[in-house]
Amino acid sequence: MEQNQMNVFREQLSEVNLELLALLNKRADLVQQIGLVKHGMKRFDPVREREMMDLITSHNEGPFTNATVEHIFKEIFKAGLELQEDDHSKELLVSRKKKPVDTVVNINGSNIGDGNVHLIMGPCSVESYQQVSQVAESVKSKGINLLRGGAFKPRTSPYDFQGLGFEGLQILKRVANEHDLAVVSEIVSPAHIEEAIDYVDVIQIGARNMQNFELLKAAGVVDKPVLLKRGLSATISEFINAAEYIISRGNGNIILCERGIRTYEKATRNTLDISAVPILKQETHLPVLVDVTHSTGRRDLLLPAAKAAIAIGADGVMAEVHPDPAVALSDSAQQMDLEMFDKFVEGLYKFSNASGRELR
C-alpha cells in the first residue's frame, strides 16, 4: 500500500519536473528575446535581478525558505545571462558560428590557414642591414617566406633599446626585396599605420597593444593583413573581442597569435596556453599561430613547444633568430643563433611531415 502511495507521488513529481522544464525553457526563450533587444547594451542587469528576486520572495509561502529560493533563482538568472552572452558571441564577425569556413590569409602567396604549417622567423629587433640580411638569407634557404623583425619596440624599460623606427622598416623592406620575403613587423601607433603599410606585408599588433582600441580600429581600415598577439593577461574572450575591433572596421585578414600568458610560474618567461589554439580555432574562423620565443623565453624549449603547437593544430609558428644572440639589443637570452635555427627547422620539418602537414 505504502509502496503504491510512493509511486503515485513519484509519478506526480516526474510530471512537475517536466512542467518545470517547460517553464524554464519558456523563460529561456524570453531571456533570449530580451537579449536581442539589448543589442549594444550591457547584458548583466543586477537591478532587474534584485526586483525579480524581491517579487519572488515576497510571494514565497514555503516550505522552501527565502534563502533557498534566492539560491535557486540566482542560478536560473545566471543561466539566463549565460544564454544571452552565448548568443552574443555567436553574432561576432570573427566567430565560427557566423562564418563556418576557415579564413585563409594570403601574404604574398603564403596562405596562412591553408592546413600547412607556416613559419615566421627573424630577429627580435632590427639592428642593422647586415644583421637582418644574414638572418634573411638563412630563412630563405629553408624555403621560408615570412620574415619578422621589430622596428618599433615597446620595451618594459624606457631606457632599453626602443628600435630603429621607420629606418628599421626600410632595412626590412630592402632585405625582403633582395630575398623575396614578406615582412611582418609591429606597429605601435595608429598614426604610423598609413605610412607603415608601404613597408610591411603584415601589421603586427603586439601583446602590450592588444587592447589599444584606437590602434585596432586603425588597423581595421587598411587593406593589409594583421597579426594580432594575445595580451599578457588577456582572456581568450578579450582576445577574440580585440580581433572583432579589427574585423568590424572592414579588415578580415587577421591572424591570431598565442604568445603565452602571465602566471605565477617562473620557469618560463610566460606560460604557453597551448589549449588556447584549438579553442580559438573552434570559436573563430581565423588562423592561429604560436610564438614559441615569447611564450617560453627559453631556447631549449623552442623546438618542443613548436612541435606541441603543430600537434594541437596551430597554423604556424613564430620564433626569433639572431646571427649573434649574445650581443642582441633585445631578448638576447631567447633568440636562436643560425646553427640552432638549422636544427630547429630540421626538427620541425620531420615532425610536420610525420603529421601529414607541409612546413612552409
Residue 9 within binding range of ligand ISJ, rule CB under 6 A: no
Q: CB 73 → ligand ISJ: shortest distance, Å?
A: 8
- Report helix, strand and coil shares of the chain as percent, to nearest 5: 50, 15, 35
Residue 49 within binding range of ligand ISJ, rule CB under 6 A: yes
Residue 44 within binding range of ligand ISJ, rule CB under 6 A: yes
Residue 48 within binding range of ligand ISJ, rule CB under 6 A: yes
Residue 53 within binding range of ligand ISJ, rule CB under 6 A: no
Asked if 145 contacts 109 with a C-beta cutoff of 8 angstroms, the reply is yes
Per-residue DSSP letters for 60-84? Answer: --SSS-HHHHHHHHHHHHHHHHHHH
Residue 81 within binding range of ligand ISJ, rule CB under 6 A: yes
Cell numbers 620575403: residue: 181
Measured from the CB atom, the residue of 49 and 114 that comes closer to ligand ISJ is 49
- Across the chain, where does the E strand assignment appear? 105-107, 110-112, 118-122, 146-148, 182-186, 202-205, 226-229, 254-258, 288-291, 316-320
- Stretch near ligand ISJ under the rule CB under 6 A, chosen from 4-12, 53-61, 73-81, 141-149: 73-81
* C-alpha to C-alpha distance for 317 and 151, rounded to whole angstroms: 20
Measured from the CB atom, the residue of 84 and 330 that comes closer to ligand ISJ is 84
Q: CB 238 → ligand ISJ: shortest distance, Å?
A: 20
Measured from the CB atom, the residue of 89 and 116 that comes closer to ligand ISJ is 89
Measuring CA to CA, which residue among 39, 48, 47, 35 is closest to residue 84? 35
Question: Would you give the DSSP letter of residue 156?
Answer: S
Sign of CA dihedral 32, 38, 44, 50: negative
Q: Which of 34, 93, 104, 338 binds ligand ISJ (CB under 6 A)?
A: 34
Q: Which of 45, 85, 102, 342 binds ligand ISJ (CB under 6 A)?
A: 45
Residue 114 within binding range of ligand ISJ, rule CB under 6 A: no
Residue 50 within binding range of ligand ISJ, rule CB under 6 A: no
Q: CB 328 → ligand ISJ: shortest distance, Å?
A: 51
Number of H helices, E strands in the chain: 12, 10
* Residues in contact with ligand ISJ by the rule CB under 6 A: 31, 34, 43-45, 48-49, 77, 80-81, 84
